[in-house]
Structure 1
Amino acid sequence: MRNWSEGMLMWKMKRCSLSFVIFVVFLRLSRTALGAVPGAMSCLPPSDSNTSGEIASPLPSARLPTSLRPLNYRLTLEPFLESPWTLKGELVLMMRVEQTTNNITLNMLDMIILNDTVKVEKWGEGEVAVDVPVVRQTYDAYRQMYTAELEQPLMIGGLCNISLRYVGLLNDKLVGFYRSMYQSEDDTERWLASTQFSPTDARRAFPGFDEPGYKSTFDITLVHPPNYTAHSNMPAKSSKTRADGKSETIFERTPIMSTFIVAFHISDFESMPVKRLNSTSFTVWSRPAVLNQTSYVYDATPAILQFLEEYFGIAYALPKLDMVAVPDFKFSAMENWGLITYRESAMVIEPGASPGSQFYALYLTGHEVAHQWFGNLVTPAWWSELWLKEGFASFMGYLAVESVQPSWDAMDKFVTSYQQSVMPLDSLQSSHPINVPVNHPDEIGEIFDKISYEKGASLLRMVYKFVGANAFRAGLSNYLQQLQYSSADQYDLWRHLTASGNDSLPSGVSVETIMVTWTHKKGYPIVNVTRTEDAILLTQEQFLFGSRNSSAGWWIPITYTTAAAPEFRVSTPQAWMPDDPRQILTINGSTRLEDWIALNLNASGFYRVNYAANDWKLLNQQLQRRHDLFPPSQRAAFLDDALELAKEGYTNYSIALDMTRYLVNEAHIVPWEAALGGFSYFYGLLSQDRAFGDLKAYFLHLVSPWYESLGFDDNPEASYTERSARALAVKWACLLGHKGCLARARSLYKTWSSQNSTKAVIPGLVRYTVLCTGVAEAEEDAWSGLLSIALASPPAQRSHLLSALACTRHLWLLDRYLWLAFSADSGIRKHEAPSIVADVAGQPAGRALAWRFLRTNWQRIALYLGSNNRNLATMLKSTTKRFSSNETIMQLEQLKKEQAGHLGAGERAVEQQMEEVRVNIAWWNAHYPTVTDWIRRHA
């Protein structure tokens, strides 16, 4: 805040002395910063717009007028990598007039336009450009829009330019054009500038049409220190040294593209050797100390790019693809066209890294490279279709991993990591459809959530299954071919998939007819199964916690098999349930009631299956006899469905818990991920209850054979599947108190800590478990020493150490840790702070502490991170998800009331967490005796 206020004061003095009319744009929380400058508001222009920061609900539209369409941005930017952290910009924006108008309206935020520099020209075809006087300039703070009112109208069909100069902020909020820093190997501070424009922050770097449906070309020039390299979406065309000694890099013109995928990066980073991939040059960039650890992504990307080019049948569109590892980064990565930026810890993979780190780096690369087609080449027309690009990139990320590492079982892992992960959230009445109306940047930020990403990807996987892999691929290729360099919505996609996959659809029914029942309503269905000697009878209803709703209906693809002829490779639906929930679907044919039946094979549909009690019993008996008759994803589906249905009372908990008993013989990680997801719910709710000892004893009874068959020590030569299973087994065995696991972890920690060096390495596969075990027994001096080691460690070790520091049993150290996480001079990066809150809240002793810290420091945290930072919602969830008291609901209601207008991206999350706490209370009232009695008898 100190630098922000100093910079504002400098600007105020300059602009008032020169009689500039200045438009200063702030988020609501920035009013505090303005207040630090006496009289600052007096320099703002009069406006009829609401600038109070109070936003009505529902939020009014903040969409741009449709009278103009951008054609080309000619943009020069000069960021200053020193206090007061500003940037200078010059813009010439060429537009076509779509409707006659007297106004030019552009998105703009956190910048000052120098009004004496604003000039407008207009011309028609074959005409000479003429000046158009600007008679008034206004700013609407709520809509984040600058308007130049003109003396003469711009006529439909004509062309026009607006040229201007401005000053902006090189901020520290990890959005727009922002600054980052790292310590070089000689321990000096090295500053850099990078960008994060998605979804609505390009307007912080330059005025423009900051909506995804507005595409144009960009001619970009960056001014930077002479020893730094400048990057943008396209290759550099030329570079020169200016009279002031700075370098000026001019880039080739981009194809037409949206503002949110424009990118700039200026640093002293180094690169790997450039690779030629057909007509594309490719490399990665990072700070020098970690460049050699970017080789995993560097080596994997060519195969992923080739897979996606062949899959889509369209070559990558740009002449180059750079990937940059940025020390401070808001998201894991960003798909900027031709310049993909990563959070450094997501790209830098150490030798011997954990299999989870390897998988995520490969998946993330597939996700971001897939965006070069879905999101960049073809762009959602508006943010209500966010899921269309994020769901596709997520699904294609898994397909890419499956292609380049087929032994990793990526599509089985999808079931637990994505589909089952999002279903509990989508079971809340406060959930939202994946296609949701949004009008304002605050609302847009809220929908960058699990629904858009994970449910979106799960629904696309369902379409992939029911139209067939070949038809799906053909439909995507046609969609991209016909709509490249333009915008699209879901109906464009459904039209192309219907044309390619019509043979698998019900008669007279299109993909659109089916999928609008999934995209335009929240939640998902349960398919209830009953049987007679002659038929299988299926009904559907919506699954919502705390509500039985039979009025909602979906088109549901049905796949099934029986004990008489088990076949799990079926993906084409054997039947369809129409979207009328009153209808009973009858599947005729003899099914012996003594034989099990399984539906929704390999969890290919986004729904749960509720069997009759006897059918659950038959499935359980098969699991006990020979569980590997069912594929891993099918076993995972049985476990997840049983436990979640029991939570809402659709089946008895004794049936659901009986399904877990076979796990003493389970070796595959995918069913274990499903089971441990369910166990984590019990673990969180009961961690301070007298039944916790019995709970741990039962879980340990199941986990011990799995852990003991795998062992503690990593074998780098083992398969990915074995290594990933070992990592999970070790984590849970030690957490549950397995004596052998704890002894080995303590021994490794003692050896490591005695070396007292950032260069000492614990194997990545078990590092967190070892560190957490040691930290739990450490005193203040050791804890503080570990924090110092963490802050000086390479990315992977740093991440594990920071997470493990939350394992301390000293509440006062946890409190100190939370304060350090949100202190600018602590050495903890901004993007690391939300994870620290989650880690503290994940410890039974730290849960109440983390929640109290978050709610009592909300405005400070929101100001520190930025009010539209989606991690505000993440922290609300991580701190309250396992509470089960009316007191917590009252505290959430109080937070909502006290922080009205300041919740930002946490607005929707408050409602979701109040509901989740109510679900937990209902669980205690309905199920505590049954669950604890069953566990006590089986512990």
Structure 2
Amino acid sequence: MCTSCVIKVLITALALGLTTTIATSIPTPSPLVHMPSARSLRLPNDTYPLGYLLHISTNIHLGDWQFNGSATIDIEIRRSTNEIVLHAKNLSDIEITLRLLDNDRPDDVGELVDDLTHTYDSQGTFLVIHPRENYQAFEAGQRYRLEILYTGIMGTRPNGLYWMPYEDSNTNETTYVAATQAEPTYARLIFPCYDEPAFKSNYTIKLTHSSSLNAVSNMPVAQIQNQGVNDDLIEHSNLTTTTFQTTPPMSTYLVAFVISNFESISETHRGVTQSIYSSPTRKSTGRRALNNTILTVAKLEDYFGVSYSLPKLDHVALKRNQGAAMENWGLITFKEDNVLEQHRKDEYKITKERLIANHEISHQWFGNLVSPEWWTYVWMNEGFATYFGYVVTDLIYPNDHVMDIFLRDEAEFAYSDSSLFPARPMTHYVETEPDIMNVFDVISYKRAACVIKMFHHAFHQKTFVSGIRTYLNKFQYSVVNELDLFDSLQSALLKDDRFQQQTWVHMVREIMLSWTHSESLPVVTVIRNYENDTITFRQHSVHSKNELWWIPLNFATVLTPNFEHTHVEYFMPPMSEHTVSFNELHLELGGRDWLIVNKQQTGFYHVIYDMDNLLAIARQLQRNHSVIHQRNRAALFQDLAPLVSHNEIESMDVFFELLKYLEFEDQVMPWTRASSSINFLFEALYDTTSISLFKQFMRRLIASSFQRLLRLLESGESPLEFLSFEDFLHIACRAEIPECLIYTQKLAHDYIFKNSSLEVDYPDYYFAMHDVILCMGLRHQSYEEFEKLLSVLKTTQPDSMLYDDLIYALRCTQNRQHMLHYLTMLVGDNFTYSIMNEKDFMNYVIYLFKTNAASRPVIWHFIDGNYKMLSRSTHFVQLFNEIAEYVPESQRERFAVLHSKIEEYLQSEKITPKVPLIDKDSSHVGKKMKNKEQFVERFEHQIHKWLLNELPQPDNRDYYAASLSVGNGSDRPGGLLRTASKMLKSAFGANISL
């Protein structure tokens, strides 16, 4: 047993850690003895915190960013050890006192412990307390009280304890506000602690601050004391110490407090007081948010049958916050614009505010009441909060249709196979601080939400919620891993009589693990055998990985078109191919009947059908599309899009039969899911004999829906369906709907020539459409209009937003003469690059080339005529190499001639470019055109034939007829221009210049 003494350790913080300075009365320890280089980045489990008393003192009201702290931690030794290890980062002037506690009388503070020193491990940010000699100093079962005095510095970034200024426009005074952000590993910046989620403990928090400010923390205030001069921790008068009630056991990442001059509005419901805190000038703008939080907490309590466990829940609006909001237990912090009302009413923004708040409120159960034992299971926090944030919002505001927004704002990203989202499973082990931060990603939030949604429906919603209720009650105030969750769901399923005959009901762990440990998502191919009444299901990964899943399937048919029952009807086992009879699936299907799998797209997988079944679905859509749920109508296009764009679809006739029904589609979602394939077809068919027919076909399909939305827009309404108006705008203008051309040109001209602001003068959703409006608005211009636009560009400040917008939008022109004039102006007289510098010009031409197919022949012509001048730039060869990837096969000979001229000129002038000139026979030449060329070779004749059979033959009376001819290098016909001009002048006044 150790003898008595006091250890006082002074540690000075460096940039990312601490170095050691020991008091002169204590010999300096050897850092090598007790700090092995192979120390784990995880805390050892030898010691455990039983409770914290945290006291932070600050003079932030004086603009002093230093804070003083005292962390007193009662510790239990769970396994005999020679060290006590906890986290600390960027803290200095540390003094440590350790006392032995009497296990029989825990309130009695025992003797001081001597013979101790410390070491700091900067790699793990560990503060290690250990004896000077290497022996087992701490015996299992002992308890200690560790007191650490220290100082820290507040930063401006929302990590740890940070500050932000608030200016009062009435008094011209500045008030400083301090707030915390502890998730995921920033609590160690605030106080020495066991900064891992599994180390749950009780916290009693005291804050000393100016009496002119107030403080809030996780729990309600227990006591407020005014301090005189020479307080223990800080020497200034007019200070107040606010002490808060002790928290229930919680993880360090949820510790939170705010010191401010904020004011609040409050309401108490069911014994829980909720408040919205904000700067005094914005106090009145929190009422809508408060009303929502009251409804949401009550609804979640009822839905899960588990009461909110704290006496209060504060919502603080901050100027600066990490992310949109942070779910600290009892004290949620928000970026202020996500919780406070704005000047204008925007239905989508109101809905998003509710979703953000309800996500954080859901965390009070998922993550706060029950926490993950390690960051491996971040998805158990974020996935549940994301999904049930939508569910509770849908329950409270059913007319907002937020589950459709879920598909657009969450599921669409989760389904994406973009390389921007690195492949990893939901359950993913991490250790380092950067890796822990990176696991808060699209997989933990969006993919996990989709998987949770799938099983919420597959296991019957009430049964699933019953399992969640068991999970929350059993593990409240503790930590879990995924198996704890799965076992709770298993117990609920075993009690549900509907599943007793199912063989899979005892395999919940296996089923769920196939999803949480896979890196991708499946594609389910459904192949009907029309002779023997069987269906073959095949599954494969979208990333071609060797992964297999237990996949919950359900079915809708002509005879049973019930899309509301979304529970699992059959689990496809983890086999690459599986055949089952109609009888086993309890299906009645005739040869021409349609079959839909994955009702309402509740399952998180793609579905691909055989062509005959797709044709049967298309026939039903054309007869009465409302029989099939709109989410499944949308899913058809979403699931077929990769096949179309990758040239893997069997027949484009069937795809066009599906498109055909869109003429009568009045819901936005199917259109938005079809838009990617429609835009691919615009690109693939560009410059083919079918493009004019395709435009005519698209005009027929979209005209009614576009005009309906446009009428709503111009009436001043802003329903949530306008979220996807950008997709309609893009398609309608590419199809040359006159109203679209008029509408976008009017807005673009007002913005450029009349200095109107789309975001100020029009509703908020224009912000998202800004680029599309300008691009489409300048797509077709007369010679005079284009000259005026270039004049504006020449006289606009290069660092202005208008300048950037003009540069962006002018590249959308479809007129080849305009494009050549534009390029000539950008390089300037004698290639002086007066508009933009040489490097920016080269990069911009690459961007222009890639995004506007009409520009490509012009750019090749421009290079052919100016390659000698362009070769002066060290960046020219890089430009040439990149656009070489877009050379069509039909132009390979011309490319080779130009390549030879450039190569000879570089050699004759002894010009050495930064990168070697691409070889003219390189496999990269034309690489980006191959997919389009293969698609055109395979399908263009089929598409042309289908369109000719579908469309009426044009005649001179059809005002669309002019768009069937392309002349003079322009994609805008004169007839259409004249028609649009007349309509525009009629709609907006005769003074419009065309």
Give the alignment's TM-score, normalised by structure 2: 0.71
In structure 2, the residue matched to 1:357 is: 349
Cα distance, 1:770–1:520 mapped onto 2, change above 3 Å? closer
Alpha carbons 1:355, 1:765 under 8 Å: kept: no
Alpha carbons 2:202, 2:249 under 8 Å: kept: yes
Q: How does 1:717-732 map to 2 (within 5 A)?
A: 720-722=719-721, 724=723, 729=728
Q: How far does the alpha carbon of each residue in 1:560-615 deviate from its partner, in whole angstroms, 9 at most, with x for none?
A: 12234422123222222112335434434553232221111111211111111222
Greater mean alpha carbon deviation, residues 132-141 or residues 725-734: 725-734
In structure 2, the residue matched to 1:762 is: 762
Q: How far does the alpha carbon of each residue in 1:390-449 deviate from its partner, in whole angstroms, 9 at most, with x for none?
A: 111111011111111112222233233322321224899951110111122221111111
Q: How far does the alpha carbon of each residue in 1:287-313 deviate from its partner, in whole angstroms, 9 at most, with x for none?
A: 234333333322211111111010111
In structure 2, the residue matched to 1:911 is: none
In structure 2, the residue matched to 1:138 is: 119
Greater mean alpha carbon deviation, residues 634-643 or residues 725-734: 725-734
In structure 1, the residue matched to 2:899 is: none
Cα distance, 1:709–1:71 mapped onto 2, change above 3 Å? same
Cα distance, 1:810–1:363 mapped onto 2, change above 3 Å? closer
1:206 to 2:198 alignment? no
In structure 2, the residue matched to 1:891 is: none
* 3-state SS of 1:621 partner: helix
Offset of residue 846 of structure 1: 10
| Equivalent residue letter for 1:930 | F
| Equivalent residue letter for 2:203 | F
1:596 to 2:597 alignment? no
1:90 to 70, 90, 96: 70
Alpha carbons 2:87, 2:125 under 8 Å: kept: yes
In structure 1, the residue matched to 2:180 is: 195
In structure 2, the residue matched to 1:909 is: none
Q: How far does the alpha carbon of each residue in 1:303-357 deviate from its partner, in whole angstroms, 9 at most, with x for none?
A: 1111101011121111111111111122111110011011122223325433321
In structure 2, the residue matched to 1:120 is: 98
| Equivalent residue letter for 1:312 | F
In structure 1, the residue matched to 2:538 is: 540
Separation of aligned partners in 2, 1:238 and 1:543:
58
Separation of aligned partners in 2, 1:645 and 1:419:
19
In structure 1, the residue matched to 2:743 is: 741
1:566 to 2:566 alignment? no
Offset of residue 499 of structure 1: 1.8
Separation of aligned partners in 1, 2:933 and 2:115:
70
Separation of aligned partners in 2, 1:493 and 1:752:
60
Alpha carbons 2:63, 2:176 under 8 Å: kept: no
Q: How does 1:94-113 map to 2 (within 5 A)?
A: 94-112=74-92
Q: How does 1:455-534 map to 2 (within 5 A)?
A: 455-502=447-494, 503=496, 505=499, 506-507=502-503, 509-533=506-530, 534=532
Separation of aligned partners in 2, 1:923 and 1:535:
43
1:450 to 2:442 alignment? yes
Separation of aligned partners in 2, 1:733 and 1:556:
38
Q: How many percent of aligned residue pairs carry the same amino acid? A: 25
| Equivalent residue letter for 2:507 | S
| Equivalent residue letter for 1:624 | Q
Q: How far does the alpha carbon of each residue in 1:599-632 deviate from its partner, in whole angstroms, 9 at most, with x for none?
A: 1111121111111122223323333333222111
Alpha carbons 1:240, 1:247 under 8 Å: kept: yes
In structure 2, the residue matched to 1:178 is: 162
1:663 to 2:662 alignment? yes
1:223 to 2:208 alignment? yes
In structure 2, the residue matched to 1:710 is: 709
Cα distance, 1:848–1:323 mapped onto 2, change above 3 Å? farther
Alpha carbons 2:101, 2:143 under 8 Å: kept: yes
Greater mean alpha carbon deviation, residues 413-422 or residues 78-87: 78-87
Alpha carbons 2:522, 2:541 under 8 Å: kept: yes
Unaligned runs of 5+ in 1: 1-18, 35-43, 788-803, 813-840, 852-882, 888-917
Q: How far does the alpha carbon of each residue in 1:271-296 deviate from its partner, in whole angstroms, 9 at most, with x for none?
A: 22x10111111111122343333333
Cα distance, 1:135–1:701 mapped onto 2, change above 3 Å? farther
1:163 to 2:147 alignment? yes
Q: How does 1:269-308 map to 2 (within 5 A)?
A: 269-272=262-265, 274-308=266-300
Q: How does 1:563-712 map to 2 (within 5 A)?
A: 563-588=558-583, 591-647=589-645, 650-652=648-650, 654=652, 656=655, 659-676=658-675, 703-711=702-710
Separation of aligned partners in 1, 2:316 and 2:689:
49
Q: How far does the alpha carbon of each residue in 1:768-807 deviate from its partner, in whole angstroms, 9 at most, with x for none?
A: 54698579977598779987xxxxxxxxxxxxxxxx9964
1:557 to 2:546 alignment? no
* 3-state SS of 2:206 partner: strand
Structure number with greater Rg is 2
Separation of aligned partners in 2, 1:651 and 1:65:
55
In structure 1, the residue matched to 2:976 is: none
Offset of residue 472 of structure 1: 1.4
Offset of residue 485 of structure 1: 0.7
Identify the structure with bigger relative contact order (alpha carbons < 8 Å, sequence gap 6+): 1
Alpha carbons 2:206, 2:243 under 8 Å: kept: yes
In structure 1, the residue matched to 2:255 is: 262
Cα distance, 1:48–1:752 mapped onto 2, change above 3 Å? farther
2:935 to 930, 933, 936: 930
In structure 2, the residue matched to 1:440 is: 432
Separation of aligned partners in 2, 1:293 and 1:452:
32
Separation of aligned partners in 2, 1:676 and 1:247:
60
Alpha carbons 1:122, 1:130 under 8 Å: kept: yes
Alpha carbons 1:555, 1:577 under 8 Å: kept: yes
Greater mean alpha carbon deviation, residues 91-100 or residues 711-720: 711-720
Offset of residue 185 of structure 1: 2.4
Q: How far does the alpha carbon of each residue in 1:24-44 deviate from its partner, in whole angstroms, 9 at most, with x for none?
A: 3645xx99xx9xxxxxxxxx9
Separation of aligned partners in 2, 1:63 and 1:753:
58
* 3-state SS of 1:154 partner: coil
Separation of aligned partners in 2, 1:246 and 1:808:
56
Alpha carbons 2:758, 2:766 under 8 Å: kept: no
Alpha carbons 2:541, 2:548 under 8 Å: kept: no
In structure 2, the residue matched to 1:150 is: 131
| Equivalent residue letter for 1:667 | D
* 3-state SS of 1:540 partner: strand
Separation of aligned partners in 2, 1:886 and 1:47:
58
Cα distance, 1:766–1:296 mapped onto 2, change above 3 Å? farther
1:22 to 2:11 alignment? yes
Alpha carbons 1:811, 1:846 under 8 Å: kept: no
In structure 2, the residue matched to 1:790 is: none
Separation of aligned partners in 1, 2:550 and 2:221:
51
Alpha carbons 1:124, 1:157 under 8 Å: kept: no
Cα distance, 1:577–1:757 mapped onto 2, change above 3 Å? closer
Alpha carbons 2:221, 2:245 under 8 Å: kept: yes
Cα distance, 1:270–1:430 mapped onto 2, change above 3 Å? closer
Alpha carbons 2:523, 2:542 under 8 Å: kept: no
Cα distance, 1:847–1:753 mapped onto 2, change above 3 Å? same
2:52 to 73, 82, 91: 73
Separation of aligned partners in 1, 2:395 and 2:314:
22
Kindly report the root-mean-square deviation, in angstroms, between the aligned alpha carbons of the 2 structures.
Answer: 4.3
| Equivalent residue letter for 1:559 | N
Alpha carbons 2:421, 2:442 under 8 Å: kept: no
Offset of residue 249 of structure 1: 1.6
Separation of aligned partners in 2, 1:847 and 1:138:
55
Q: How far does the alpha carbon of each residue in 1:883-904 deviate from its partner, in whole angstroms, 9 at most, with x for none?
A: 99999xxxxxxxxxxxxxxxxx
Q: How far does the alpha carbon of each residue in 1:620-652 deviate from its partner, in whole angstroms, 9 at most, with x for none?
A: 333333322211111121111010344456534
